[in-house]
Amino acid sequence: MTVALIVAAGSGERLGAGGPKALVGVAGRSMLQWSLDALAAVAEIERIVVALPAGVAAPPGVIDVEGGAVRSDSVRRALAQAGAGDPVLVHDAARPMLTPELAEAVIAALRGDRGADAAIAAIPVTDTVKRVDADGTVRETLERSELWAVQTPQVFRRDALGRALAAPAHELARATDDALLIEREGGRVIVVPASDENLKVTTPLDLKLAELLLSARAGGSSAPAPVKPA
Ligand code: CTP
Ligand code: MG
């Protein structure tokens, strides 16, 4: 069975909402709740652990842990409380557009490839990407057909994730995802085609986009669903 970790302990500085980003409301629910609801609908996920800022409690039904100073610390702390279960799915609360189908596809991709250590959601890059020096001079144009923009969820064989998170602190601090740490050790990471709708909410513009998309998913209205009569 799979255990899922949601990292939600960031401060959301670039969003500038004046509080933890995971708790920001979008289309009637917190960003964290959208991801929790998607993962709760995946039958093979048996447990969910959420890393949160100090003093913030998780909703009922999930295990909460206090996050760390950097993202990989939050992943490590959540993994330490995850109990038994392999593989391990890691998801950023900053991606509230997650669907159960995407989580299932990433879990299935890892199961279907015995030689892979991790499977990660990703989309082909549509922009032309250049490497640029600190002084603003273009050094190189990367071959776009080889470039993928990676997302979460990322699903790991548990031993591979454990080894990756044992990397030195300065490497962990710079890792913007967990798969990077596995690639560097020569592990095999495979991409699973995802949707550009599975966007990461970083800036206020992203939040507006997520609000539009999730309101449409909720039936064209961001108002809470009517309560059914008993
Ligand atoms: N995260 C975490 N613990 C940290 C830092 C980040 O759990 N110490 C989580 C965030 O909550 C988010 C994900 O990692 O779900 C991706 O991080 P990012 O989008 O950078 O979120 P923030 O760090 O909150 O935003 P910012 O960098 O703008 O402050
Ligand atoms: Mg951050």
CA of 43 to the centre of ligand 2 (A): 30
Task: Give the confidence band of 219 by pLDDT, cuts at 50, 70, 90.
Answer: confident
Q: Is the CB of 17 under 6 A from ligand 1?
A: no
Q: Is the CB of 8 under 6 A from ligand 1?
A: yes
Q: 13-26 b/e with 16+ CB inside 10 Å = b?
A: eebebeebbbbbeb
Nearest ligand to residue 20 Cα: 1
Structure tokens at 104: 């299932």
Has residue 159 got a pLDDT over 80?
Answer: yes
**pLDDT given at position 226:** 57
Q: 161-191 b/e with 16+ CB inside 10 Å = b?
A: bebbbebeeeebeebebbbbbbeeeebebbb
**pLDDT given at position 225:** 54
Mean pLDDT score, 143-165: 97
CA of 56 to the centre of ligand 2 (A): 18
**pLDDT given at position 223:** 53
Nearest ligand to residue 74 Cα: 1
CA of 115 to the centre of ligand 2 (A): 31
Structure tokens at 34: 């959208």
**pLDDT given at position 227:** 60
- Does 211 or 176 have the greater pLDDT score? 211
Distance separating alpha carbons of residues 60 and 174, to the nearest angstrom:
32
Q: CB of 156 within 8 A of CB of 178?
A: yes
What does the pLDDT look like over 36-85, one tens digit per residue? 999 999 999 999 999 999 999 989 999 999 999 999 999 999 999 999 99
Q: Is the CB of 202 under 6 A from ligand 1?
A: yes
Which residues are CB-neighbours of 171 under 8 A, at least 6 positions away?
181, 184
pTM comes to 0.94
Has residue 228 got a pLDDT over 70?
Answer: no
